[in-house]
Amino acid sequence: MNESLLFKNFKAGKILVFAALMSLIFLPQAMALPSTVRIVAFHLDGGNTDNQIVMTNSLTKSGYYPDYRIQPEKGFKLSISDQQGTQRFSMIFQNPSMIYAHAYDNEIITGGLVILNETDFALTLPVYSDNDQITIWDEQNNQVFQKDFEVQRNAIGGTVTSGKWVLAGLVIAVLLLVFIFIMARRMRSRQA
């Protein structure tokens, strides 16, 4: 009888250790909460001396935007401001009309910088408020794009979610783990 009780305690202990390890493994993924991002598609017409950017599409959804920590020293500048003109986000990105093309002919590699007259590109950007203003300047510091954006509403009228349900799930999982540990302690105290 005593060996059976010891086996049950050992099995419960293994389950507790497994649950704790799984929570530690999945905790970083749960902490990387998605936020509301805006994916904006543009068309750049740089055929003449001045660059002109036109927005072709915009989509607001729950997701992740790149960290943009590594930026070129020079290029196009983008700024996101609120309605009061306070800058919330800025970045520098390479001129989208400049691409590096490579051609392979047997063992000879050729190619290099190609400057396109026009091109399409997209940027994934953070959303800070209901009304963000996005402004883009070219390499000569000429403003080539400016637009006020509003957060897209879903069919019910609410905004796109920002991943709060993931945080709620994380809180529930932590509470469940605490409950399991309390139950395990009670089982050990009863056996002693």
Element (H, E) at 92: strand 87-93
Contact criterion met (CB below 8 Å) for 160 and 151: yes
- For residues 10 and 104, membership in a common domain is answered with no
Does 103 fall in a domain?
Answer: yes
Burial 51-80, CB ≥16 within 10 A → b, else e: bebeeeebebebeebeebeeeeeebbbbeb
- For residues 146 and 172, membership in a common domain is answered with no
- For residues 78 and 137, membership in a common domain is answered with yes
What is the DSSP track for 112-178? EEEE-SEEEEEEEEE--SSEEEEEEE-TTS-EEEEEEEEPPB-TTSPBPP-SHHHHHHHHHHHHHHH
Tens digit of pLDDT for each residue in 108-126? 888 888 888 899 999 999 8
pLDDT of the residue at 54: 93
| SS3 annotation, 39-52 | EEEEEEECCCCCCE
* Residues facing 118 on adjacent strands: 45
Backbone torsion region of residue 184, taken as left when φ is above 0, otherwise alpha when ψ lies between -120 and 50, otherwise beta: alpha
Residues with pLDDT less than 50, the chain? 1, 5-7, 154-162
Tally of domains within the chain: 2
Does 158 fall in a domain?
Answer: no
- For residues 56 and 138, membership in a common domain is answered with yes
The whole-chain average pLDDT of the chain stands at 78
pLDDT of the residue at 123: 94
Q: Beta-carbon neighbour count of residue 183 at 10 Å?
A: 12
Tens digit of pLDDT for each residue in 125-163? 988 876 789 999 999 999 999 999 876 554 444 444 445
- For residues 106 and 171, membership in a common domain is answered with no
- For residues 55 and 138, membership in a common domain is answered with yes
User: Whole domain around residue 170: which residue ranges?
Assistant: 2-32+164-191
Residue type, 19: A
pLDDT of the residue at 32: 53
- For residues 24 and 77, membership in a common domain is answered with no
